């Protein structure tokens, strides 16, 4: 599982990388992260700052939450459908 870093840490790493005093390899090594993580964070920071087109971090978070809610509601709906069918079979005239 991927290691989670706080937003403040990512912001600091992006700020240092954008500063231009160090190469991306040096920044990644100094902060003990992979170069691919740094590249991904820089890309997402560009999107969040409006420099690139794409989903912002808040939009991605909202989509994740909506998918979780949808999955939960679908499961609840299936449970209610099965319960209704179970109780309906007992109510049928014999």
CATH number for position 12: 1.10.10
CA distances to 26, 74, 84 from 14, rounded to whole Å, are 13, 39, 54
pLDDT reported for residue 90 = 78
pLDDT reported for residue 91 = 73
Specify the number of domains making up the chain: 2
Same domain for 16 and 1: yes
Q: What is the span of the domain harbouring residue 68?
A: 55-94
Same domain for 49 and 10: yes
Please, how many CA atoms are within 13 Å of residue 31, restricted to the half-sphere of its CB? 23
Same domain for 29 and 66: no
Whole-angstrom distance, CA of residue 74 vs CA of residue 25: 45
Same domain for 60 and 47: no
| CA-based end-to-end distance of the chain | 56
Same domain for 37 and 13: yes
Give every residue of the chain whose pLDDT is below 70, as ranges. 1, 92-94
Same domain for 21 and 61: no
Is this model's pTM higher than 0.85 or not?
no
pLDDT reported for residue 94 = 62
pLDDT reported for residue 89 = 85
Name 35's Cβ contacts closer than 8 Å, sequence gap at least 6: 24, 25, 28
């Amino acid at each position: 599982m991927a290691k989670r870093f706080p937003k403040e840490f990512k912001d600091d790493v992006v700020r240092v990388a954008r500063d231009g005093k160090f190469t991306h390899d040096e920044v990644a090594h100094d902060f003990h992260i992979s170069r691919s993580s740094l590249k991904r964070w820089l890309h997402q920071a560009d999107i969040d700052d409006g420099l690139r087109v794409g989903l912002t971090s808040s939009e991605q978070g909202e989509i994740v939450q909506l998918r979780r809610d949808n999955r939960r509601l679908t499961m609840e709906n299936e449970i209610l459908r099965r319960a209704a069918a179970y109780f309906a079979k007992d109510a049928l005239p014999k």
